[in-house]
Structure 1
């Protein structure tokens, strides 16, 4: 039953049930996975998700045009906007769609046969749906034309899988772990030196010639990857690698963590004890936030937007998208137009074309094909909506966030740093203008999504919409395996504020997902994890020992020095 009254507590009363409705929003392309949504009561062929159906939401001009043309072709009156919309439940919608879906599947099947090529998983579903209806039986053997068609389809299916094998996607994944990011940077540094600087026996980070050669090696290393993904401190490192920021400079942050991670005064005074953990975050974020801002300023040095320098105060994820993909530059003025190309209906392809727009999905929704792009993924947890957010540089809905806010949010580990509020705004003449308050509040994405590898696999599946041959290089920050005994595991005296120590809860969560990836994903993943680290190993000397140990043992290390 529909309710006209506004719920007192929306987050508690909004349905979280998700179903497979076989439908998409005709405006943004989002899958309709709720129990009900808005549909045109005249044509029963125009569906909007909850967000696009809001009265104040302005639909795309192309969406309005397509809806109007459909009414005209079927002799309906012109649509009147929200007046023609009503709530429809999934059961009713399925009945209305059934006949339409069959017609669309048949038309798509004919088009696929004409071009002689299956291009994505949606087309594969059309082919399989038609083949299911044409299974030959003893009483009705296939005709010569059907045999010819089945033979052609067999060749197309084989070619589809061959192309999937050739379609290589490379992912660099960086785990979270606070100051243990030092380990990730050291391991990456050794990889670069061993691979691209074989002539330098003893690398000197203060030597300018060595620095330049290392930068060249870092560029060659990072140019290989299509996706960069990170959680927490890994998000900051992934950002720096994706934007070609020297990791030798990043290493200075983690080599002297006390210079950037300082305790709040309540926590630094022993007299307050565990009371300080309750009253404030353990660490003051000012210095690390200032360093994040300065890094963004260095990366965008010399770049302008409407004559204004790009800095941490106005550089958005759209600016970052343009930096990563200079051949696919999108201006802020063209932001609205390009939302359709970089939304839920986005499909990356390897065609050497800028943008192809074609009718692809069922119900005539437009799928937007874009030549492959470099993508940065950073996770954070939205405490306002109680949901994970994967900030994606190729997703238009995220282009209106500041880069600085995203990085500060993913590093806001609970109890260590205070949560971070992220405003969504617009760019006006190069300046960032915040949207209306209240803004959503975020914390470290590692709280509920501590394995960035799976985040990358999800993004690849959503953005490529077809089988791909991916390779993942995942760099860990160490894992801690606490020793338990039959006498002490449950009998230890509880310590004040023990819940505030998140390291035990999150340290091994990325390892727990390794089973899923090994058993369900038939691809290659290279995981470099440093084992044996304890939760107290956060001082630089201890971290160096772990790094030296792992670099001395790993097979990829060529030099014995």
Structure 2
């Protein structure tokens, strides 16, 4: 059997003429290969360029006598689309092949067949070339008067008919006369497989960046039955600088994956779940001075072995995610133990239809993008959520995604100024039915709470500060009086100085006072990883309103996202979510200024659905989702932003847009969520729909409309868009709070809300119930 054979890797399709007009090098890409495949990396032994070419003829000047400034190069390009050679340590991967010979017999038309340098396995070209790269041929000339006239060219390669290097050979004992299809019969023992190249990865977006670095040989049935354990060791260093606020999360790592065959580039899927298992992380700042040890996978414990089929290969896949994460791996060892004495873990029967999970995630992603787009002023780019992009992530075999955990209970709280008092009395009625105990704490019954603006303040008090409902009502009422007590003249002065009607310092001081009372530290951190009730509040970066980014400030570390924004103080997060434009000044935290999340995300219910999936797992069942509004009417259609009515009703178009958005986006989010979640799990309470009923309002709280329109006009038709705007504007009128409390109590004692509250109570666990796991198990 022949041991080697030659092949034309690439050849020119047209001549190429390069002329130099200065001391600078002129270089043109003449032709290039198809993308390099695995066969080249493992079986190619020599590469040589042949050209039929010439230069300008004999140069008689002393400077260039007997020298050649007309030559050819070989270069490695990342892929077929790349226009510049790849670099290693900032040096282009380019090597000289040969020059055009110049002697007294040459003239301008004397083309000669040139045989370039033979690049063999000892050359750097073979060290750096990777699957998917292309080899390009450069035609070069330097110094005025020199030219390179390339007529024809071809790039030749010599191959052997067996794989030269592990991991495609188990040992040097495999016969070179044996084809790869029959190779792989291995004796009992421990084998070490290594890559032929180094590996560099740089993440430039929120999407995962990965590649198959090297693999085992194709596995036959006998070898699979004898695989006992496998472990990866790497020499790798972390380079680059992750974004500030990353915390303990690490986004550079190595996976072991099952491939259809050694040439495959994507993992095999089983029940739509990718057969991927994490080996180990690359710690931030790791310099590669010591070898990193991956997890030891054993046949008794790990199902990677049970998923293998004849013809498959196990691949090593380095991965990075999120901007700033990079890795550079210089070498690795994949150590495999083969033994006749193997106990195999059987594959469990699937409990989840992962295809449905993927489809559900895709639906939620589409709904969120639509909602975020409509939460943005017309003509501006749609709002964004980094978390939304994570819904399409790969579903891995090494994670359960919460499928074995009990159903989740979620609480969403709208923004709405002083009207948040209505939310608290709705929740008070529910908790009374759940526990029969006035001191019951909602944090003991809900797994996650989310809030915006007023809702964010309440979520922090109930979840992070672990208040009872009555404690929260008292604190909230006191906050409202302190914050919104400025007189008309003071409010005007504040607006002139800061663009806001109320003092941010007064708001911050009031929140600090409450935090200090319940934690003994006014500057207590938002993060509280020991608290089973997870809380996040929404806010927006003020520098990016035209392309708003929903920011989740959390009390916990979400392992699925790059930054958890959990390192701010409680009062800072509360201040950020409450910084409603024209009401309070924006707040600067770190390098950015933040404003009230109500600008785009006043009802955080969709963001809560998203966040809970990322935190607890895509397969964690939902028990109930309670979403509470703040008395904003869902049915009034407001005029277009900028109309005369609205312009006259508010001081600025920006304020009007915020008010319109406050009402319409809250109910838009509710309608979307209602269609996405099963009706037996979704419960929305909002006093606003009863405020639409004039007779009901005047019966329950006769002074409510008079306080807004004045006694003289209180009997006019109140439900025109412009008059509803007057009601919506009164978010800072803490004098309304008694009326809102009175109406909310009656509202919760009326069907269907009364029956709905009873149903919610039945879905929350009793007080003595053991708390649920707080995060998804890997």
What corresponds to 1:414 in structure 2?
Answer: 581
What corresponds to 1:478 in structure 2?
Answer: 631
Q: Does 2:295 correspond to 1:101?
A: no
- TM-score, reference length from structure 2: 0.40
What corresponds to 2:427 in structure 1?
Answer: 188
User: 1:52-91 alignment to 2 at 5 Å?
Assistant: 79=236
Q: Deviations over 1:260-306 (max 9, x none)?
A: 2244886535xx7xx946853111122332221122222223xxxxx
What corresponds to 1:237 in structure 2?
Answer: 458
What corresponds to 1:206 in structure 2?
Answer: none
User: 1:355-504 alignment to 2 at 5 Å?
Assistant: 374-384=533-543, 386-395=548-557, 397=563, 398-423=565-590, 439-463=591-615, 464-480=617-633, 490=643, 492=645, 494-495=647-648, 496-501=651-656, 502-504=658-660
Task: Give 1:46 deviation, angstroms.
Answer: 5.9
What corresponds to 1:517 in structure 2?
Answer: 673
SS at 2:411's partner residue?
strand
Q: Deviations over 1:33-72 (max 9, x none)?
A: xx99x9997658664424899xxxxxxxxx9xx99999xx
In the superposition, relative to structure 1, how do residues 512 and 277 fare at CA in structure 2: closer, same or farther (>3 Å)? farther
Task: Give 1:235 deviation, angstroms.
Answer: 0.9
What corresponds to 1:316 in structure 2?
Answer: 525
Task: Give 1:227 deviation, angstroms.
Answer: 0.6
Q: In the aligned structure 1, how far is the partner of 2:638 from the partner of 2:506? A: 41
Q: In the aligned structure 1, how far is the partner of 2:640 from the partner of 2:265? A: 66
What corresponds to 2:662 in structure 1?
Answer: 506
What corresponds to 2:14 in structure 1?
Answer: none
Check conservation: 1:406, 1:422, Cα contact below 8 A.
no
SS at 1:100's partner residue?
coil
Task: Give 1:449 deviation, angstroms.
Answer: 1.6
Q: In the aligned structure 1, how far is the partner of 2:425 from the partner of 2:639? A: 38
Check conservation: 1:39, 1:47, Cα contact below 8 A.
no
Q: Deviations over 1:440-475 (max 9, x none)?
A: 111111112222211111012212132522411112
Task: Give 1:547 deviation, angstroms.
Answer: 3.4
Task: Give 1:506 deviation, angstroms.
Answer: 1.1
Check conservation: 1:191, 1:557, Cα contact below 8 A.
no
In the superposition, relative to structure 1, how do residues 383 and 196 fare at CA in structure 2: closer, same or farther (>3 Å)? same
SS at 1:508's partner residue?
helix
Check conservation: 2:605, 2:670, Cα contact below 8 A.
no
Task: Give 1:75 deviation, angstroms.
Answer: 12
Question: Which structure has greater helix proportion?
Answer: 1
**Which sections of structure 2, spanning at least 5 residues, go unmatched?**
1-80, 89-127, 131-196, 217-229, 241-260, 277-302, 308-344, 359-399, 693-726, 758-778
SS at 2:647's partner residue?
coil
Q: Deviations over 1:109-128 (max 9, x none)?
A: 764693314477879999xx
Check conservation: 1:530, 1:550, Cα contact below 8 A.
yes
Check conservation: 1:419, 1:442, Cα contact below 8 A.
yes
Q: Deviations over 1:179-201 (max 9, x none)?
A: 1111112222233345544xxxx
The count of aligned residue pairs is 368
Q: Does 2:667 correspond to 1:526?
A: no
Task: Give 1:103 deviation, angstroms.
Answer: 5.5
Check conservation: 1:450, 1:506, Cα contact below 8 A.
yes
What corresponds to 2:347 in structure 1?
Answer: 115
In the superposition, relative to structure 1, how do residues 400 and 75 fare at CA in structure 2: closer, same or farther (>3 Å)? closer
Check conservation: 1:233, 1:411, Cα contact below 8 A.
yes
Of the three residues 466, 483, 486, the one matched with 1:260 is 483
User: 1:13-52 alignment to 2 at 5 Å?
Assistant: 47-50=201-204
SS at 2:419's partner residue?
helix
SS at 1:494's partner residue?
helix
Q: In the aligned structure 1, how far is the partner of 2:663 from the partner of 2:682? A: 20
SS at 1:479's partner residue?
coil
Q: Let me know the Cα RMSD of the aligned residues.
A: 4.8
Task: Give 1:214 deviation, angstroms.
Answer: 2.0
In the superposition, relative to structure 1, how do residues 286 and 226 fare at CA in structure 2: closer, same or farther (>3 Å)? same
Bigger Cα Rg: 2
Q: Does 2:514 correspond to 1:295?
A: yes
Q: In the aligned structure 2, how far is the partner of 1:393 from the partner of 1:39? A: 43
In the superposition, relative to structure 1, how do residues 485 and 226 fare at CA in structure 2: closer, same or farther (>3 Å)? closer
Q: Deviations over 1:410-440 (max 9, x none)?
A: 01111110111113xxxxxxxxxxxxxxx21
Q: In the aligned structure 1, how far is the partner of 2:488 from the partner of 2:622? A: 51
- TM-score, reference length from structure 1: 0.54
Task: Give 1:382 deviation, angstroms.
Answer: 1.6
Q: In the aligned structure 2, how far is the partner of 1:77 from the partner of 1:188? A: 53
SS at 1:458's partner residue?
helix
Q: In the aligned structure 1, how far is the partner of 2:575 from the partner of 2:620? A: 34
SS at 1:441's partner residue?
strand
In the superposition, relative to structure 1, how do residues 81 and 460 fare at CA in structure 2: closer, same or farther (>3 Å)? closer
What corresponds to 1:214 in structure 2?
Answer: 438
Task: Give 1:540 deviation, angstroms.
Answer: 4.1
Check conservation: 1:68, 1:78, Cα contact below 8 A.
no
What corresponds to 2:417 in structure 1?
Answer: 178
Task: Give 1:391 deviation, angstroms.
Answer: 1.8
**Which sections of structure 1, spanning at least 5 residues, go unmatched?**
1-34, 54-62, 84-95, 127-159, 198-212, 302-310, 326-373, 424-438
Task: Give 1:507 deviation, angstroms.
Answer: 1.9
Of the three residues 458, 464, 473, the one matched with 1:251 is 473
Q: In the aligned structure 1, how far is the partner of 2:460 from the partner of 2:605? A: 15
SS at 1:376's partner residue?
strand
Check conservation: 1:228, 1:238, Cα contact below 8 A.
yes
Task: Give 1:252 deviation, angstroms.
Answer: 3.3
Task: Give 1:504 deviation, angstroms.
Answer: 2.7
Q: In the aligned structure 2, how far is the partner of 1:103 from the partner of 1:194? A: 50
What corresponds to 1:542 in structure 2?
Answer: 736
Q: In the aligned structure 2, how far is the partner of 1:468 from the partner of 1:487? A: 40
Q: In the aligned structure 2, how far is the partner of 1:258 from the partner of 1:557? A: 30
Task: Give 1:508 deviation, angstroms.
Answer: 2.8
Check conservation: 1:231, 1:450, Cα contact below 8 A.
yes
Between 498-507 and 181-190, the greater mean CA deviation after superposition: 498-507
Task: Give 1:545 deviation, angstroms.
Answer: 2.5
Between 506-515 and 394-403, the greater mean CA deviation after superposition: 394-403
Q: In the aligned structure 2, how far is the partner of 1:493 from the partner of 1:451? A: 23
Between 499-508 and 476-485, the greater mean CA deviation after superposition: 476-485
Q: In the aligned structure 1, how far is the partner of 2:232 from the partner of 2:447? A: 48
